[in-house]
Structure 1
Amino acid sequence: MTDTEQADTDARPEPDPGSPPDAQADAEPQRPPKMRGKRRDEKAAPPPGDAAPARPRDPEIERLEEAFERGDYALVRAEAGRLAKEAERDEIRRAARALLRRIDPDPLAVVLLVAAMALLAFLALWYWSHGHAAP
């Protein structure tokens, strides 16, 4: 036993053997184990391999994924739409629809844009409809 271990055991009060187990548990709270950064990153990282688990291995889907990463959204929109309708396998259609969802605008952003345009139109009409006194 080292000096620091001895100091830790001296500072900690011994639980009373006659007290109920709940009182012993309250005497010293348990701390959750510390997570190291490396372990946390390993859990969040995708599994090793060429493809994500949900993406099927298909040359057309892989070509569209590469186009998406390059930023060629026009190609992705056109080809993924066609593939979502005409693909033979169901998982290919799902992957194409997932690609289309990734390039669709955020619904909240669309609602906020429409609300801003409606407010601008209302304020412009209000300004033009109310007469202004000439100086």
Structure 2
Amino acid sequence: MTDTEQADTDARPEPDASSPPDAQSDAEPRRPTKKRGKRRDEKAAPPPGDAAPERPRDPEIERLEQAFERGDYALVRAEAGRLAKEAERDELRRAARALLRRIDPDPLAVVLLVAAMALLAFLALWYWSHGHAAP
């Protein structure tokens, strides 16, 4: 036993013999759990999208979901577009269209971008169309 271990055991209060065993275990502070256990639990848990009732169990849709989560939007756009047109089941078509909607740009952002470009064009035309006095 080292000096620090001796100091730790001296500082701990002795459990009361008349108290129940549960109270004795509460006398010592608990050690924090290790992060490795938490990571194992996260790996064992299903991905967040698996519990969605409208998502069909199909290998193509699952592959596209994984590509979406990786950030491979080009693959998702190409394959989901093809799947939305050629799928035999309606639920596969709906799931493919839902994936396509998730990678579409926000309509408000599109409107604001068009408005900004229109304002820039107006201001540029105004500047060039009005004569300026030479100094």
Q: Provide the TM-score with structure 2 as the length reference.
A: 0.64
Shift of 1:53: 1.6
Q: 1:62 to 1:19 in 2, by over 3 A?
A: closer
1:16 match: secondary structure: coil
CA distance in 1, matches of 2:40, 2:85: 40
CA offsets 1:47-88 (integer angstroms, 9 cap, x no match) = 999442210000000000000000000000000000000000
CA distance in 1, matches of 2:107, 2:69: 22
Richer in helix (by share): 2
In structure 2, runs of 5+ residues without a counterpart are none
Shift of 1:36: 27
1:23 is matched with: 23
Superposed CA RMSD: 6.9
Q: 1:6 to 1:104 in 2, by over 3 A?
A: same
1:30 match: secondary structure: coil
Name segments (4+ residues, structure 1) moved above 6 Å: 1-49
Q: 1:128 to 1:35 in 2, by over 3 A?
A: same
Q: 1:113 to 1:29 in 2, by over 3 A?
A: farther
In structure 1, runs of 5+ residues without a counterpart are none
CA distance in 1, matches of 2:25, 2:115: 56
Q: Provide the TM-score with structure 1 as the length reference.
A: 0.64
CA distance in 2, matches of 1:76, 1:129: 46
Higher mean alpha-carbon deviation, 104-113 vs 28-37, is at 28-37
Q: 1:22 to 1:131 in 2, by over 3 A?
A: farther
2:4 is matched with: 4
Higher mean alpha-carbon deviation, 3-12 vs 39-48, is at 3-12
Shift of 1:12: 46
Shift of 1:17: 54
Q: 1:61 to 1:81 in 2, by over 3 A?
A: same
